[in-house]
């Protein structure tokens, strides 16, 4: 809820002296939330490295970043959807369908240019996202139900199309596979690309009117309608973007893993939603940042890798992810309650 | 059972010495661990000459059914649905040695034939079609790696799921075989759950945790392909040896570029074909599951039921650069 205040303050001219003050307070809190993730990440790195110095080995850093890349990318689209008080559960299935159909082009059309394959992946994702968005925005059906249905439908289409077939590394050109393996120092090229996307999306959500409106819609959909925002259109676009990103992520997945069957991306939706929430995006919309969501993906993936490196049972991985979710939600609740109280007090003090 | 009458008795193609001619029109459900797994597609499909090809040739109603995840909770509802559709026989790769048993035992009491292939559920089936002896599979992988490593160094195993019957049996025999190579040390067994992303992560974890790791055995097709993709970089190619069980198609690139020198497998299509044949033989009361019973499985020739109600397909086959391009599955 905290971001909601910021959003509405940003779109409504500051009529009272409380405006700038409150905004500063909100900024501090938001920044604190991302700082919290960074602090958690730092603590994890310090503890793990103390126990096992090889955790900070450049090869291991490359592994972590390369495994984070696809989740962080998906988290960009998912965060936009969640900020608008919706959820997109179909991203894993969209990724799977796109991964197979796009990489299969290499076996069907000899010498097809790699960028064209990325475009096809993007188009597949966009179609799925547009369908999700249309049903949610025009049909006014809760997105949880819509995307749960499309999760199953799209995976079903995937299993039907792929059958038991698969695309194997031998059929993929090395220029395509090298996208998944090349790196600059310990930073995979794919991670650099996704980092740029995160930066652009963060800037958009912060500075553009349509981005701010997603926060307003998520924080109070009814008020957003009354304020004259075109809520349907904004939510529709958020789903289309999430779908398009999942489609592109499918092509990256194919380049990264090299062997693609109908199981690609299974269960990714929950890991992505977890990353978004751990990254400080409120599950009921209206607050959080894209950068935070990407950091959430990095944190979860780092925990995962830390456990493997330390040789701890992967059971703990799921347990710790669950614990972090509860911490994130509790923090969110606590912060928003306090913030609402603080703002009310100020308003009373200065009068509105 | 009602579907039998369509076949003229005199036309039964493969009457065996043991007794009744083979029935036609039997409802035989082939239940791999999960759908969308290329290994099982090869084992089951008509195109590759697997289980459904055998059923088609015999005039049965064959169908492949399973869930999308490699787990008993995904497989069991499918088996129950198959039974309610009136299955005469089930050909199953068990996702768990015991979890399926209450359902399968109840079905067998009602006369449904249960044959397991690839992964066994010993307490609740008539016959297990063994792809290769577990000793043979475990030993061949260790021997390949020992040769590549000159009998020394740290090695690890990237398995499928911790509850998989066949994986655990093979790993047990790997440990036995490793006693021949005292300078090779098995430092870790990790589980990739037959999921590409998880298998990738656990392989990376091994490389980070054991910088002196010299070799990896992955006795599962998903695991070996994922591990090969991780090792297919200048840093690791040829320096950390990889072997295990893989399909030729998935491994061609990695064998060509030197990431993998040799790996083993049986012919999955023959395994499925044999399992389907055995199921039809049993369902037709042409054979029983007793030791010493024998039958002819079409193009594969004659097989005899061995100890523990099992039928052995044959020794594992080793693929390498010189032969891999002759295979397409």
Mean pLDDT (whole number) for A46-67: 92
Nearest by Cα to B109 from B129, B124, B127: B124
A-B contacts at Cβ under 8 angstroms: 116
Count Cβ atoms below 10 Å from residue B297 Cβ, excluding itself: 22
Mean pLDDT (whole number) for A163-168: 83
pLDDT of res. B5 = 36
| pLDDT confidence band for A33 (50 / 70 / 90) | confident
B145, containing H or E segment: helix B134-148
User: Which residues of chain B fall short of a pLDDT of 70?
Assistant: 1-19
Contacting residues of B for A256, CB less than 8 Å apart: 229
pLDDT > 90? residue A173: yes
pLDDT of res. A36 = 82
Most B CBs within 10 Å, among A168, A172, A186, A315, to test the B interface: A168
Nearest by Cα to B285 from B4, B22, B15, B38: B22
What is the CATH architecture of A2-350? Orthogonal Bundle (1.10)
pLDDT of res. A5 = 42
Helices (H), chain A: 2-11, 18-51, 58-83, 91-108, 114-137, 143-162, 174-181, 189-207, 209-219, 221-226, 231-257, 268-278, 290-310, 315-350
Contacting residues of B for A54, CB less than 8 Å apart: 208-209, 211
Cβ of A164 under 8 Å from any chain B Cβ? yes
* R_g over Cα of chain A: 21
pLDDT > 60? residue A286: yes
Cβ of B205 under 8 Å from any chain A Cβ? yes
Angle made by CA atoms B104, B106, B112, in degrees to the nearest 5: 70
Q: Which residues pair with B218 in a beta bridge?
A: B244
Q: Tokens 């012919």, residue?
A: B267
Q: How far is A320 from chain B (nearest CA, A)?
A: 17
Contacting residues of B for A96, CB less than 8 Å apart: none
Which residue from B208, B222, B250 is facing A60, i.e. has the nearest CB?
A: B208
pLDDT > 90? residue A323: no
Could you give the domains of chain B?
A: 2-132+267-314 (3.40.50.2300), 134-265 (3.40.50.2300)
φ, ψ (nearest 5 deg) of residue B53: -65, -45
Which residue from A63, A168, A264 is facing B252, i.e. has the nearest CB?
A: A168
Q: Tell me the helix, strand and coil percentages in chain A, rounded to 5.
A: 80, 0, 20
Which residue from A169, A263, A311 is facing B253, i.e. has the nearest CB?
A: A169
Chain segment B249-291, per-residue pLDDT in tens: 999 999 999 999 999 998 889 999 999 999 999 999 999 999 9
Most B CBs within 10 Å, among A61, A92, A167, A308, to test the B interface: A308
Chain segment B132-167, per-residue pLDDT in tens: 888 999 999 999 999 999 999 999 999 998 888 889
pLDDT of res. A204 = 96
Predicted model pTM: 0.79
Inter-chain contact B229–A259, Cβ cutoff 8 Å?
yes
CB-based contacts of A210: which residues, under 8 Å, 6+ apart? A234, A237
pLDDT > 70? residue A272: yes
- Across chain A, mean pLDDT equals 88
* Rounded (10°) angle between helices A114-137 and A174-181: 60
Distance CA A123, CA A104 (A): 15
pLDDT > 50? residue A73: yes
Distance CA A297, CA A304 (A): 11
| pLDDT confidence band for A11 (50 / 70 / 90) | very low
Which residue from B36, B206, B250 is facing A159, i.e. has the nearest CB?
A: B36
Residue of chain B whose Cα is closest to the Cα of A257: B229
Residues 273-312 of A with CB under 8 A from B: 304-305, 308-311
């Amino acid at each position: 809820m905290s971001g909601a205040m910021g959003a509405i303050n940003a779109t409504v001219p500051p009529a009272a002296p409380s405006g700038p003050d409150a905004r500063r307070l909100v900024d501090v809190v938001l920044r604190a939330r991302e700082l919290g993730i960074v602090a958690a990440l730092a603590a994890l790195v310090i503890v793990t490295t103390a126990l096992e110095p090889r955790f900070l080995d450049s090869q291991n850093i490359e592994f972590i970043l390369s495994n984070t890349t696809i989740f962080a990318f998906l988290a960009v689209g998912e965060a936009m959807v969640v900020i608008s008080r919706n959820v997109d559960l179909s991203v894993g299935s969209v990724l799977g369908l796109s991964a197979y159909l796009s990489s299969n082009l290499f076996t069907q059309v000899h010498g097809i240019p790699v960028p064209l394959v990325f475009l096809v992946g993007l188009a597949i994702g966009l179609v799925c996202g547009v369908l999700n968005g249309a049903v949610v925005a025009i049909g006014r059906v809760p997105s949880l139900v819509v995307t749960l249905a499309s999760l199953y439908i799209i995976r079903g289409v995937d299993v039907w199309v792929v059958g038991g077939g698969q695309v194997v590394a031998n059929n993929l050109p090395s220029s395509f596979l090298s996208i998944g393996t090349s790196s600059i120092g310990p930073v995979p090229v794919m991670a650099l690309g996704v980092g740029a996307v995160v930066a652009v999306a963060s800037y958009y959500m912060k500075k553009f009117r349509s981005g701010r409106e997603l926060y307003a819609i998520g924080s109070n959909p009814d008020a957003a309608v009354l304020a004259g925002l075109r809520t349907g259109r904004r939510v529709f676009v958020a789903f289309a973007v999430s779908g398009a990103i999942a489609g592109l992520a499918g092509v990256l997945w194919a380049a990264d893993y090299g062997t693609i069957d109908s199981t690609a991306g299974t269960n990714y939706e929950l890991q992505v939603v977890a990353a978004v929430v751990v990254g400080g995006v409120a599950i009921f919309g209206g607050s959080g940042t894209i950068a935070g969501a990407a950091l959430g993906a990095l944190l979860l993936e780092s925990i995962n890798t830390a456990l493997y490196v330390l040789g701890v049972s992967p059971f703990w991985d799921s347990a710790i992810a669950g614990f972090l979710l509860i911490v994130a939600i509790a923090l969110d609740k606590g912060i928003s309650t306090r913030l609402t109280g603080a703002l009310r007090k100020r308003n009373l003090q200065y009068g509105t | 059972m009602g579907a039998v009458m369509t076949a003229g008795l005199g036309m039964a193609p493969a009457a065996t010495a043991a007794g009744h001619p083979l029935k036609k029109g039997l409802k035989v459900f082939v239940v791999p661990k999960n759908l969308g797994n290329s290994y099982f597609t090869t084992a089951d499909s008509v195109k590759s000459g697997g289980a459904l090809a055998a059923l088609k040739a015999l005039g049965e109603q064959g169908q492949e059914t399973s869930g999308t995840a490699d787990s008993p909770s995904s497989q069991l509802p499918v088996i129950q649905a198959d039974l309610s559709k009136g299955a005469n026989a089930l050909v199953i790769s068990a996702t768990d040695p015991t979890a399926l048993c209450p359902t399968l035992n109840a079905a067998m009491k009602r006369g449904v034939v249960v044959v397991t292939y690839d992964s066994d559920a010993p307490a609740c089936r008539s016959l297990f079609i063994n792809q290769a002896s577990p000793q043979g599979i475990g030993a061949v992988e260790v021997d390949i790696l020992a040769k590549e490593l000159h009998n020394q160094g740290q090695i690890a195993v990237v398995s499928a799921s911790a509850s998989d019957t066949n994986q655990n049996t093979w790993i047990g025999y790997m440990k036995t075989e490793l006693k021949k190579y005292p300078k090779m040390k098995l430092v870790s067994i990790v589980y990739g759950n037959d999921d590409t992303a998880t298998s990738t992560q656990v392989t990376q974890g091994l490389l980070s945790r054991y910088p002196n790791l010299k070799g990896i055995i992955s006795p599962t097709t998903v695991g070996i392909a994922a591990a090969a993709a991780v090792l297919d970089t200048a840093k690791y190619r040829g320096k950390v040896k990889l072997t295990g069980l893989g399909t030729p198609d998935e491994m061609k690139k990695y064998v060509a570029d030197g990431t993998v020198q040799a790996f083993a497998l049986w012919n999955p299509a023959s395994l499925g074909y044999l399992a389907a044949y055995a199921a039809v033989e049993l369902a037709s009361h042409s054979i029983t599951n007793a030791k010493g019973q024998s039958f002819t499985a079409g193009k594969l020739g004659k097989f005899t039921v061995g100890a523990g109600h099992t039928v052995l397909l044959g020794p594992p086959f080793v693929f390498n650069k010189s032969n891999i391009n002759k295979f397409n599955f």
